[in-house]
Amino acid sequence: MSVRAPLPDLYVLASTKPRVKSILDGSLLPGGSDPIVEEIVAAATSSAPAWSWTVAGGEPTTRSDLPTLLTALSRAGAPRLGLRTDGLALTKISAIETLKTAGLKRVVMPLHSGRSDAHDWLVQTPGAARRVRRAIQIISSRAIAVEAEVVITRSTTPYLDETVQLLAQLGARAIHFRRPVLTHLGVQAISLSPRFGLLQPYLTEAIRSARSRGLAVHLHDLPRCASPAGFDAAGPTRPMAWCVPTSLNWQPAIPSSGRTDCGDCPASCHGAPQDYVDLFNVTEFSSVTSAPEPEDTPDGSAVVPAPASRNGWQPATRVSVTAERARFGPPSRSPLPADHQPIVTLHLAPNTHSRVARSTLIRAAQDRPAVLHLTGHWLTHPQGLKLLAETRFFLGDVHLTGLIHPLAPLNDRALKRLERLRKVSAVLLGPTAEQHDQLAESDGAFAKTVQLFERLSTLGIQTEFEVRAPDQNAIESYTSAVRQGLLPALPRFTVAD
C-alpha cells in the first residue's frame, strides 16, 4: 500500500521587495513592481492542490491593497489563508481586525532569537524584536494562529530553547526551524551557518521544549542527523512550494538537498544540503551521525564564534540570563532534595562586577528557592535595574531589601514587569529627608522612597519600611515622623546585618 505524499504549503509571491534588506535573505527576491491582484489570484488557483496558501514576498504588508488581495484569495477558495510578514506593521489591533475580516487565518513571522540584539541585527532593523513580540501577542489574542520562523545561525544556536520558551509565552502555535541559505551569504556564510555537530544538542532540547509546551515543530532544509531525537519528536514536515505570477519570470532559491551518501540514514531523511556540503565537506557527516544523543541539557561549553562585523553594531558580550542558563542549564525538574532551602539570600556588595552578580542570580535559581531575598546594593549598583529585571525568569518569589529610590524613574507599567517581585523592605537611613539623603548620598532619595512606598502598595506589592540597629532616640524620632505625616507607616526595626 503506497503512502500518499502530504500536500505542500503553497507560498504565493505577492511582493517583490523586502521592507529592509536583511542579512539572511534580502538578495533572494526578484525586485521590480509587485504583481496585480488578479494575476496573483490566477496563479494561485491554477496551482496544484495545497494544504495552505500563504501570501509571501518580499514584504506583503507594504502593499496598500493587501486587504483586497486577501479578500480575493479567500473568495477563490484559499485553504488556511496565511500571511508571511516581518510583523512590523501588525502592532495595532485595528490593522489585525482589517486583515481578519478579509479572511486571514494564519500569520508566519520571524523571531530568530529571544535576544533582541541578535534578531535586530539579522533583520537589520533596530527595535524589530520588540515590535515582533508585541505583534505576536496581539495577533494571537485575535484568534489568528501565529507560526514563528526561526532561522538558526551559529551565534544564536545556544539560545534556541530560550527562544522557544519566549514564543510559547507570547502565544505562538508553531515554530519553523530553518537554515540560512548559504549560497547568498557570501563571506558571512561560514560565520553564520550552524555546524550540525554543535547544533545537535541545542536543537534537540529546543524541539523537546516546544513539543512539551504544545507547539507544532517544522524542520526545513535540515538533515535528520542534525537531531535524530528531535526529528522523531517533531514528526513529518509538509513540503514547501512557491506560486509565482508569470510576469515576474523568477524562481525562488531553494537550497538543494539530496546528498544521501553521507551516512546510514533512513529513507525519511532528504540528505545533506548541497550548499552546506560545498562549504564544509561531506566528511563531517560521518562524525555527526555517530555522535551520541545527549540525555540532558548541554552545559553550553562549546565555543560559538562571534558573527561577522555588524556594520557598527557591537555584539552583546555581557552575561545575561539566556547566556547563563545555556551554561548552567535551566532550573532542575528533579524532585527537591531533603535539605532544600526554601529561602536563599543574596547580598550584593557595592563594587561587585555586574557579570559576577548575574552569575550569582542564575546559580541561585538552580536551587529553586521559594523566595529569593536580595539584600545590599542591588538597586544602587550601576546595573541594578537591569539585574532586577532579569529576576522575572525565576520560578519563585523575589523579596528586595535595601535603598529603593533608584526605582523612582520607572512608571507603573515598568514596575508591573517585575512580576516576581512580591515584597519590598525599603531601608531608611534617617527619619527626615535631610538625614536620609545625606547618608544615601542622593538628593531627594527620602521623598522618592516615600512615593515608591505608596506606588508599590497600590500595585499589590507588599511594602514596608526598615530601620536597622536603632537606639531609643531613633525609634522615638521615627515614631514622631509618622505622627507628623512625614512617613506613611512605622518602620520595622531590626538588628544590623
**Spatial distance between the Cα atoms of 382 and 391, rounded to a whole number of angstroms:** 17
Of 381 and 449, more confident: 449
List strand residue ranges (DSSP E) for 70-111, in order. Answer: 82-84, 106-110
Do 163 and 242 belong together in one domain?
yes
Do 228 and 343 belong together in one domain?
no
The predicted pLDDT at position 289 comes to 45
pLDDT band at 297 (very low <50, low <70, confident <90, very high): very low
The predicted pLDDT at position 320 comes to 47
Asked whether residue 432 is domain-assigned, the answer is yes
Do 281 and 345 belong together in one domain?
no
Do 145 and 221 belong together in one domain?
yes
Do 344 and 281 belong together in one domain?
no
Domain end point (choices 251, 272, 290): 290
Domain end point (choices 272, 290, 308): 290
Asked whether residue 317 is domain-assigned, the answer is no
pLDDT tens digits, 34-58: 999 999 999 999 999 999 999 998 8
pLDDT tens digits, 57-106: 889 999 999 999 999 999 999 999 999 999 999 999 999 999 999 999 99
Domain harbouring 408, CATH code:
3.20.20.70
Structural domains in the chain (count)? 2
Longest Cα–Cα distance of the chain, Å, equals 93
Of 261 and 167, more confident: 167
Q: pTM for the full model?
A: 0.59
pLDDT tens digits, 130-143: 999 999 999 999 99
Do 345 and 277 belong together in one domain?
no
Do 184 and 37 belong together in one domain?
yes
Residue of 372, 350, 343, 370 lying closest to 360 (CA atoms):
372
The predicted pLDDT at position 186 comes to 65
Domain end point (choices 252, 268, 290): 290
Print the domain residue range for 215.
9-290
pLDDT band at 292 (very low <50, low <70, confident <90, very high): very low
Three-state secondary structure call for residue 76: coil
Do 249 and 350 belong together in one domain?
no
Percent of the chain with pLDDT over 90: 38
Three-state secondary structure call for residue 385: helix
Asked whether residue 329 is domain-assigned, the answer is no
**Spatial distance between the Cα atoms of 319 and 323, rounded to a whole number of angstroms:** 6
Q: Fill in the DSSP letter of residue 226.
A: G
pLDDT band at 323 (very low <50, low <70, confident <90, very high): very low
Asked whether residue 119 is domain-assigned, the answer is yes
Of 140 and 222, more confident: 140
**Spatial distance between the Cα atoms of 21 and 184, rounded to a whole number of angstroms:** 12
Residue 295's CB is within 10 A of a number of other CB atoms, namely 7
Asked whether residue 1 is domain-assigned, the answer is no
Write down the residue that cell numbers 557595592 correspond to. 350
pLDDT tens digits, 157-203: 999 999 999 999 999 999 999 988 776 666 677 888 888 878 888 99
Does the pLDDT of residue 216 top 90, yes or no? yes
Do 119 and 235 belong together in one domain?
yes
